[in-house]
Homo-oligomer: A and B are copies of this chain.
Amino acid sequence: MFGGDYNPEQWPEESWVEDMQLMREAGVNIVTLNVFSWAALQPGEDVYDFGRLDRVMELVRENGFMVCMATSTGAHPAWMARRYPDILRTDFGGMRRKFGGRHNSCPSSPTYRKYAPLLAGKLAERYREYDNIVSWHVSNEYGGACYCENCERAFRIWLREKYGSLEELNRAWYTAFWGHTFYDWEEIVLPDLRSEHVDERRSMHPGITLDYRRFMSDAILEGFELEYRAIKEWIPDAVITTNLMGFYKELDYQKWGRKLDFVSWDSYPSNEASYAEIAMGHDLMRGVGGGKPFALMEQTPSSANWLPFNALKRPGVMRLWSYQALAHGSDTVMFFQMKRSLGGCEKHHGALIDHVGTGETRVYREMAELGKELEALGGVFLGARTPAKIAVMFDWDNWWALEHSIGPSQLLDYPEEWKRWYTALREMNYDVDVIAPGDELSGYRLVVAPLWYMVKGEDDRSVRRFVKEGGTFVTGFFSGIVQENDLAVSGGYPGKLRDILGIWLEEWDALAADYENAFVYQGHTYPAYRLCDLVHMEHAKQVDEQGYCEDFYRGFPVVTKNEYGKGRAYYVATASSGEFYRAFLSDLCAEAWVEPVLRTPEGVEAAGRENENGSFVFLLNHTEEEKWVFFPWDGEELLGGDVLRAGEEVMLAPRGVMVVRK
């Protein structure tokens, strides 16, 4: 599927025919429609007007396009905001918003909860016969948060369901601290700048903030579910999604993934992003969808508009990144947008059809070429899965808990630490699955849990079983510190991981931004950043040569290994450089009998997918130089049609792509 957002409502009807011709000629076969049409479709409280959309749908069908049908509830109408101000959000500082922008509906608003699913249902009812609608797209880029009184009330209800009693809530929130004991549910106020927060990050009661984040993610998800059900009522077999946003802090996508028929997402890396950073988003998104293929719903054909400096995507990059999405599990290549708007804040955002209105632009030509190429490939790797033997754990609760704690270091950043581990694996061409704590691990050989600060409930169990049965597990500093509600563990860190890792963590030192300690691993000296854990051996053995090189904890172990059952559990007591993670993880992979997809020169990525049509290896040259790749096996290159022989070395052009079937 090749195409993307098309907003005919922004243009005179007489231009639609020409637009569609330009799209067709570019190889587009799917359009996302109706993303921001609420105000148009429902001009008044009891008035609906589908006339224009009807005409669009007819024309689209005539032109042979598939449709991704949006419910257009991503921005509510102005009249609704005026008549029912409860639909407007209140921000983190208590400022009640007025009409404007988007992402603007309060998830607890009765008005929103009434009229959004009503519209979704009406759309499903009206267009249910259109068999070119291949998926439904609820709202748009859900996000943000609300801090209004309706949300406060809904939060209390959510808490009552979660905790049952105030005694239990007082215990979970440790309200004895700073005399916060609640004697009535109504006394609970939501955490924001007016109550518990020093600033956006630091909360004086992190447990309360943590629950509000959970509640808010759930509340917004409920809005999705209301529309989901309204559509299914009319079209039981509708395929429904909403476009996610990768590493997006506000929403616990692992919970969301279970409610979507398939995952789709919008990928907007800057030109400066490393290829591992881009891949990371794809792998996370595939993970929240349970490993199934996902849809790349949006990317920009050329420049964005919201970056500080919106550089053009260099020639070839749009194609390269499109294939990278496919390599990591996407079954679509879609764009925002088909035609560039004349007004509004996105008029400087790239599109297939630029303001000039013709196909005579560089961007159009590159897209049309890609469109043809994809058409030629057919659906050969559609539905293919990633055959990963490594799992990397990611968890929104850990992100939030670290974000809102005060101390030990302001530079402690969950995704940043996570990225260190992921990047090393990606740069060595190990395919990985991104999993959640508690997920089944039996299919993997190596499990990595970066910065596993909060170990919830019995999430240690699957790890313990995995290691006992022969798996290799590794985690790092500041892990096993707190439980589900951000209450510290008693009796010694790393709490439930203590027996698995065989160490006791007594205390940690926070290093200033520009300061580093060091340690030696396999004869090389590596830096130590951020936090230095001071650990004592219980059953583990020291793996690094001599512990920290400096300071009063010189000699304290940095890398430890615990033989546990048939497996091994490693601990790395500090943060380090990419060189370290590559050296260390490569040793672990070797020990765990995990092979990379292919060994390639620096800057060339290799990623695999498998389906009934075979085993595919995507080769992506992210550099501006020619690179030579050595093939240890026979294969067939699908883009050029070449046959590759084992032992052959093949040139990959700058920003070039190969798709090889083994």
Contacts and interface: CB of A to CB of B under 8 A. Distances in A.
Interface stretch (A187-195, A460-468, A605-613): A187-195
A410 B304 CA distance: 13
Contacts of A407: 303-307, 310, 348-349
Interface string A395-421: 000000000011111110000000000
A520 interface: no
A183 interface: yes
Given A95-B194, A310-B409, A357-B491, A205 B345 contact: yes
Given A99-B187, A343-B207, A343-B486, A78 B306 contact: no
A204 to B, nearest CB: 5
**Interface centre among A40, A94, A180, A206, by most B CB within 10 Å?**
A180
Contacts of A506: 354, 356, 361-362
A110 interface: no
A72 B308 CA distance: 43
Interface string A474-502: 00000000100111111111000000000
A312 B509 contact: yes
A311 interface: yes
Contacts of A340: 488
A176 interface: yes
A101 interface: yes
Given A78-B181, A78-B183, A180-B39, A195 B344 contact: no
Contacts of A207: 343-344
A593 interface: no
A179 interface: yes
Contacts of A510: 303, 309-311
Interface in A98-126: 98-102
A69 interface: no
A547 interface: no
A99 B343 contact: no
A258 interface: no
A361 B507 contact: yes
A150 B351 CA distance: 40
B309 A410 contact: yes
Interface residues of A, number: 115
Copies in the complex: 3
B408 A310 contact: yes
Contacts of A99: 187, 189, 195
Contact of A356 (B43, B189, B491): B491
Contact of A95 (B193, B205, B311): B193
A488 B406 contact: no
Contacts of A97: 194-195
A7 interface: yes
A202 B100 CA distance: 13
A202 B7 contact: no
A365 to B, nearest CB: 11
Interface string A82-98: 10000000000111111
Nearest to A485: B343
B357 A183 contact: no
A318 interface: no
A614 interface: no
A490 B512 CA distance: 50
Interface string A183-221: 110111101011111100011111100000000000000
Given A102-B179, A303-B408, 20 more contacts: A37-B179, A39-B179, A43-B183, A78-B181, A78-B183, A95-B194, A97-B195, A100-B196, A102-B204, A177-B341, A206-B343, A303-B407, A305-B406, A308-B411, A308-B512, A308-B513, A310-B409, A314-B552, A343-B488, A347-B486
Interface of A: 7, 9-10, 36-40, 43-44, 72, 74-79, 81-82, 93-102, 173-184, 186-189, 191, 193-198, 202-207, 302-312, 314-315, 340-349, 354-357, 361-363, 405-411, 482, 485-493, 504, 506-513, 552
11 contacts: A40-B176, A40-B181, A78-B187, A177-B346, A204-B345, A205-B343, A206-B343, A305-B407, A309-B511, A309-B512, A312-B509
